[in-house]
Amino acid sequence: MKRVWDIAENLNDTTQSELNQQGKGEIELLKLPTKPHFSDMVYLDYAATTPVDPAVIETMVNAMERHWANISSPHELGAMTTQYVQEALEEIARHFNVTREEITITSGATESINQALKGVLQAQKKREIITTTIEHKATINTVQSLMKMGYKGHFIAPNSEGTITAEMIESAINEETALISLIWVNNETGDKLPVEAIAKMARKYKIPIHIDATQAAPHFQFDASQFDLVSLSAHKCYGPKNIGLLYRRAFPKLPMQHLMDGSGGQMLRAGTMPNEGVLGFAKALSLIAANWRDERHRLVRLEGLLLRQLLPLGVEVNSASIVRKDSQDDQQMGQQSSQQSNRERDKTLTDIINSEPQFADIKSGIKVKAEREPGVLNLYLPDVHADTLLALVPKLALAKGSACNSDSTLPSYVLTETGYDERRAFSSIRVSVGRYTTEEEILYAGELLRTAIEFIQSIAKGRQTNWYGEYNIYDPYIESLLSPTFIAHDFKEEDFDDSTHLITIEKPYFSLSLYGVLERSSIADGAVFRFRELSAKAYGAPYYLALFQTLITSLREEMITTHFKLEQLIDQKTPAEYLRDTIYIERALQTFLQDLQ
């Protein structure tokens, strides 16, 4: 059977005459915008990783061809290679205004964070570390690992404005505090913590501070010497993967226990130096140093271009600098903000779109606070589950949040810790743009997102009068074709009588509202009931929409005593949470139908 509604390029191959022949009647197709001539995919996930710059690739290929010798070797070839690698290391150090001796090359930020946190605590008698609840998993899991070893971790949650202040960190300091570890630019929201102010405060107590600068390094040049420890990765800076660095101040020297035993050219880390990676890393940082100011202005324009397309749909930016704690009214599905709050939100977003955020300039010494870093947008999409949106726009490389969060059935802990409710977290996506994102791509992505968002919102509001067809769900838990049918009916107050019934099932990550008008038929043994009219409002991931469709189809086509057959939606890959919800939903509906009789 031909697809009626498809996200593929041959979307409109099925004609209305074919639909009529199939007995489907007049049907509205979801027509997604046609892709322009540029690349097949639009990459909007720069916060996860960045494409390697061609100049970096050229540098690395040259290094692999000419400077491949082991720098620890005593022969002439090793000495020549050492010269090139040392020059690259000097360039990396100058980029951060530190010395070569203070830089240790690692396999990436995760290793750097482990070395920094475990290395410092294991090298002294103090047993406590302070961090926050909105850190990257690399930090959170490392602190939790230390806690299993007997150390104590203090996790500071954001305040009512969704941020962390120096005063909040200071209040957690005690005589046993060995280290403070903070993320500078959040990888999910782009929010910036006031790490420079916190570092000054920590210096008064002579407590070292570690900064996760993984998301800061791609966007602006900074002075690492104002901190005690800094971690970052090259692959977030348009450089190669599997290489990063750890900065450790040399004076006064910070005690640290090394984690890897062996031999090599670095005091803190054993192993052979990755020559081509070091040279590529240095080249990537030099490109950032030359262009970050102009690039910052360009990213602000791209963000504004996207937001102007999506704001009319009620889309909001999740950020401590824009949106505060949710009110209880915002937690209800489909409920709109008041006109006044919309005006305030739009004004705030307009200010963000038109503003030019400023950053610390290490040359001028000017330090201007900027609460959110351009390039990382976390967007709340009312009545749209993020999984469903991503399933509808496979040509857009988007994310729900951090690529390192493996459990996709859970809401973003960064958003919930910032103060947003779970429903909002499940309805949020991360859009991150970068060096190769063009205005043409943003215009196309905005059009594609707007079309998909409007379609999903129409289902959630019960306004989709004809949604029928087969489509591919791009979800690892559903591999079969599904046929959703939602028949909407706008009930008026006078329509509600003894034969009109409503059931609502509500959870943060799915909800279903059914309005039905029962029709009674007499038979020899008594009477049976069918739904003469049925209206559905549905919200959730693709699995739940498919599940709801199975239930709704049964209610529309069969007697209300039908036992729902949901086994077709269950396979070995279905998460346990989904299976529990399936049983919960089925029992709730069966109880409802039994009560009707």
Cβ–Cβ < 8 Å for 69, 78: yes
Query: What's the rounded Cα separation, in Å, for the pair 69 and 273?
Result: 10
| Phi, psi dihedral angles at 571 (to 5 degrees) | -140, -175
Q: How many CB atoms lie within 10 A of CB 161?
A: 14
Cβ–Cβ < 8 Å for 462, 488: yes
The set of catalytic residues is 404
Cβ–Cβ < 8 Å for 288, 53: no
Query: What's the rounded Cα separation, in Å, for the pair 556 and 57?
Result: 59
- In the three-class reduction of DSSP (H, G, I as helix; E, B as strand; rest coil), residue 428 is classed as strand
Cβ–Cβ < 8 Å for 155, 133: yes
Q: Identify the helix (H) or strand (E) that includes residue 535.
A: strand 526-540
Residue type, 391: A
Query: What is the per-residue burial (b if ≥16 Cβ within 10 Å, else e) of 486-514?
Result: bbbeebeeeeeeeeebebebebbbbbbbb
Token pair belonging to 200: 């000054």
Cβ–Cβ < 8 Å for 505, 519: no
Q: Where are the alpha helices (DSSP H) in 74-108?
A: 76-95
| Residue with token string 């049976």 | 528
Query: What's the rounded Cα separation, in Å, for the pair 493 and 23?
Result: 33
Query: What's the rounded Cα separation, in Å, for the pair 288 and 290?
Result: 5
What do you get for the CA distance between the two ends of the chain, in Å? 38
